[in-house]
Amino acid sequence: MPKGSEMDAVVVGSGPNGLAAALTLAKAGLSVTVVEGSATIGGGTRSEELTLPGFLHDVCSAIHPLGVASPFFKSLPLSEHGLEWIYPQVQLAHPLPDGEAALLFRDLDETASLLGRDGSSYRRLFAPLIERWDDLAPDLLAPLHVPRYPVPFALFGMKALLPAQLLARLAFKDPPARALFAGMSAHAFLPLQQPLSAAFGLILGTLGHVAGWPVAKGGSQSIAAALASCLRTLGGVIVTGCPIKSLADLPAARIILFDVSERQLESIAGSRLPAGYRRRLQRYRYGPGVFKIDWALDGAIPWTAAGCRRSATVHVGGTEEEVARGEKEIWRGIHPEQPFVLVAQPTLVDPSRAPDGKHTAWAYCHVPHGSTFDMSDRIESQVERFAPGFRDLILGRHTRNCLEYETYNANIIGGDINGGVQDLRQFLARPTLLAPYRTPLPGVYLCSSGTPPGGGVHGMCGYHAARLALADLK
Angle, helices 175-185/164-171, rounded to nearest 10 degrees: 160
The answer on pLDDT for 4 being more than 80 is: no
Alpha helices in 76-161 (DSSP H): 108-113, 119-131, 133-140, 150-160
For residue 49, give the nearest of 263, 221, 189 by alpha carbon: 221
Q: Read off the pLDDT of residues 191-213 as tens digits, 9 standing for 90 and up.
A: 999 999 999 999 999 999 999 99
Cα angle value 329/333/338 (rounded, 5°):
40
Q: Read off the pLDDT of residues 100-121 as tens digits, 9 standing for 90 and up.
A: 999 999 999 999 999 999 999 9
* Residues forming a β-bridge with 34: 11, 238
- Over residues 78-96, the mean pLDDT reads 98
The answer on pLDDT for 2 being more than 60 is: no
- Over residues 414-437, the mean pLDDT reads 93
pLDDT of res. 351: 97
The pLDDT-based confidence of 266 (bands split at 50, 70, 90) is very high
pLDDT of res. 248: 93
- Over residues 365-382, the mean pLDDT reads 98
For residue 411, give the nearest of 450, 444, 446 by alpha carbon: 450
The pLDDT-based confidence of 7 (bands split at 50, 70, 90) is confident
Q: Side-chain half-sphere of 325: how many Cα atoms within 13 Å?
A: 10
- Over residues 371-391, the mean pLDDT reads 98
Q: Which amino acid is present at 304? A: T
Lowest mean pLDDT segment, chosen from 36-45, 140-149, 297-306: 140-149
pLDDT of res. 250: 94
Per the prediction, the chain carries an average pLDDT of 96
Query: Distance between CA 384 and CA 367 in Å, rounded?
Result: 20
Helix (H, G, I), strand (E, B) or coil at 201: helix
Beta carbons of 458 and 72 less than 8 angstroms apart: yes
Rg from Cα positions in the chain: 21
Residue 109, Ramachandran bin (φ over 0: left; ψ between -120 and 50: alpha; else beta): alpha
pLDDT of res. 5: 63
For residue 457, give the nearest of 427, 430, 419, 413 by alpha carbon: 419
Alpha helices in 38-118 (DSSP H): 65-69, 71-74, 108-113
The answer on pLDDT for 25 being more than 60 is: yes
Q: Where are the beta strands (DSSP E) in 308-377?
A: 313-316, 341-344, 359-367
Helix (H, G, I), strand (E, B) or coil at 62: coil
Peptide bond into 191 cis (omega under 30): no
Residues sharing a CB contact under 8 Å with residue 300, sequence separation 6 or more, in sequence order: 309, 345, 347, 348, 359
pLDDT of res. 428: 85
In eight-state DSSP terms, residue 94 is: E
For residue 305, give the nearest of 90, 2, 45, 465 by alpha carbon: 90
In eight-state DSSP terms, residue 49 is: -
Query: Distance between CA 150 and CA 162 in Å, rounded?
Result: 19
The pLDDT-based confidence of 1 (bands split at 50, 70, 90) is low
Q: Read off the pLDDT of residues 280-299 as tens digits, 9 standing for 90 and up.
A: 999 999 999 999 999 999 99
For residue 417, give the nearest of 463, 455, 373, 391 by alpha carbon: 455
The answer on pLDDT for 224 being more than 80 is: yes
H/E element, 396: strand 394-400
The whole-angstrom distance between residue 83's C-alpha and the CA centroid of its chain comes to 18
The answer on pLDDT for 232 being more than 60 is: yes
The answer on pLDDT for 6 being more than 90 is: no
Beta carbons of 307 and 180 less than 8 angstroms apart: no
- Over residues 128-147, the mean pLDDT reads 94
Residue 116, Ramachandran bin (φ over 0: left; ψ between -120 and 50: alpha; else beta): left
- Over residues 367-395, the mean pLDDT reads 98
CA distances from 91 to 199, 221, 252, 315 (A): 19, 21, 47, 11
For residue 318, give the nearest of 95, 169, 91 by alpha carbon: 95
Q: Residue 113: count other Cβ atoms within 10 Å of its Cβ.
A: 13
For residue 104, give the nearest of 230, 206, 256 by alpha carbon: 206
Residues sharing a CB contact under 8 Å with residue 318, sequence separation 6 or more, in sequence order: 96, 97, 179, 338
Q: Mind listing the domains of the chain with CATH numbers?
A: 7-45+64-84+216-285+419-473 (3.50.50.60)
Residues sharing a CB contact under 8 Å with residue 226, sequence separation 6 or more, in sequence order: 78, 81, 82, 83
* Residues forming a β-bridge with 314: 93, 343
The pLDDT-based confidence of 361 (bands split at 50, 70, 90) is very high
Q: Report CA torsion sign: 135, 439, 445, 289.
A: negative
pLDDT of res. 230: 98
